[in-house]
Amino acid sequence: MRGIKIAVSGKGGAGKTTLAAALIRAYAETHRRVYAVDADPDASLAPALGLAEEAAKEIRPLVELKDSMRELMGGEGEFFSLTPAVAEVLDDFCYRLGNILFIRMGELKKGATGCYCRENAFLHAVLTALLLDRDEVVVMDMPAGIEHLSRGTARGVDFLLIVTEPNRRSIHTARLVEDLAGDLGVKRVAVVGNKIESSEEITLIEAAFPGKVVGMLPFDRAAYRGQGDFSNDFLNAVVSIKETLGKERVS
């Protein structure tokens, strides 16, 4: 059995980065290695993990490695493939916070043909390379909305966690993400409610996604600051999500 790969998606501001950071922290307690992948060009995952903004900006984006890794990966476009050498280069490239290996993807640029195929194929190959052992986890913080998903950034993940706030617009985007994920071969889609302040809000989200909800995160003053601190209630809710995902695994 190999490790687990999770991508966190949802509407802008719903709490993707906050949930990704808290999950990374929770997995780091119990797993040998956690790959923290920031797929959002805004690069906010590192600060959300408690890294100073200045230090976070210094982290080189992975897309910069693309050309130098082309040879190692033996091919172009969709034909990138993985070799042990690639995994080694990656390990060197990661920014380490204890047993958290941080990777910033960087901004995708359109190729000459107007598509992002080569960048996507590269990033996808990298993500594939990341998952080796059962005590390793990948948590990827996705950019807002569905555009990235439609480009295939989350291809091959085991779980797509969709974060939603308890309001119609956030739920609407979460639904779009859910629909698209089905077409993209994502194995499991699960919904997490965030910034919850009442039982009515829980009911609203559960009614919108019957059978799909794996957790509710409270509105939390500590999380609000976005600097890697969470209240115990918030962290407990995240640990419970983690345990649910562990039970739901099939492969």
Ligand X SMILES: Nc1ncnc2c1ncn2[C@@H]1O[C@H](COP(=O)(O)OP(=O)(O)OP(=O)(O)O)[C@@H](O)[C@H]1O
Query: Which tokens is 154 given?
Result: 């989350």
CB 10 within 8 A of CB 16: yes
Of Mg ion, ligand X, none, which one sits near residue 223, judging by CB under 5 to 8 A according to partner kind? ligand X
Which of 66, 118, 195, 242 is the binder for ligand X (CB under 6 A)? 195
Give the contacts of 81 (CB within 8 A, at least 6 positions apart). Answer: 73, 74, 75, 125
Q: Decide: is 120 part of the binding site for Mg ion (CB under 5 A).
A: no
Of ligand X, Mg ion, none, which one sits near residue 120, judging by CB under 5 to 8 A according to partner kind? none
Q: Decide: is 164 part of the binding site for ligand X (CB under 6 A).
A: no
Q: Decide: is 12 part of the binding site for ligand X (CB under 6 A).
A: yes
List, edge to edge, every strand of the sheet that includes 136-141: 95-97, 100-104, 33-38, 136-141, 4-10, 159-164, 188-196, 213-218
Q: Decide: is 219 part of the binding site for ligand X (CB under 6 A).
A: yes
Q: Which of residues 129-148 bind ligand X (CB under 6 A)?
A: 144
Give the separation between CA 111 and CA 39, rounded to whole angstroms.
18
For residue 47, the minimal CB distance to Mg ion (Å) is 10
Q: Which stretch binds ligand X (CB under 6 A): 14-22, 101-109, 171-179, 180-188?
A: 14-22
CB-nearer residue toward ligand X: 70 or 175: 175
Cα–Cα distance list, 3 to 124, 129, 163, 198, 250 (Å): 16, 12, 22, 35, 12
Range list of β-strands (E), the chain: 4-10, 33-38, 95-97, 100-104, 136-141, 159-164, 188-196, 213-218
Q: Which of residues 9-48 bind Mg ion (CB under 5 A)?
A: 16-17, 44
Of Mg ion, ligand X, none, which one sits near residue 13, judging by CB under 5 to 8 A according to partner kind? ligand X
Which of 5, 6, 18, 239 is the binder for ligand X (CB under 6 A)? 18
Q: Which of residues 34-53 bind ligand X (CB under 6 A)?
A: 40, 42, 44
For residue 189, the minimal CB distance to ligand X (Å) is 17
- Closest residue by beta carbon to Mg ion: 17
Of ligand X, Mg ion, none, which one sits near residue 194, judging by CB under 5 to 8 A according to partner kind? ligand X
Give the separation between CA 95 and CA 239, rounded to whole angstroms.
24
For 86-90, the CB contacts below 8 A with 24+ separation are 86/125, 86/126, 86/129, 87/129, 87/132, 89/65, 90/126, 90/129, 90/130
Query: Which tokens is 248 given?
Result: 């739901």
For residue 59, the minimal CB distance to Mg ion (Å) is 16
What does the binding site for ligand X look like in residue numbers (CB under 6 A)?
A: 10, 12-18, 40, 42, 44, 144, 194-195, 217, 219-220, 223-224, 226
What does the binding site for Mg ion look like in residue numbers (CB under 5 A)?
A: 16-17, 44
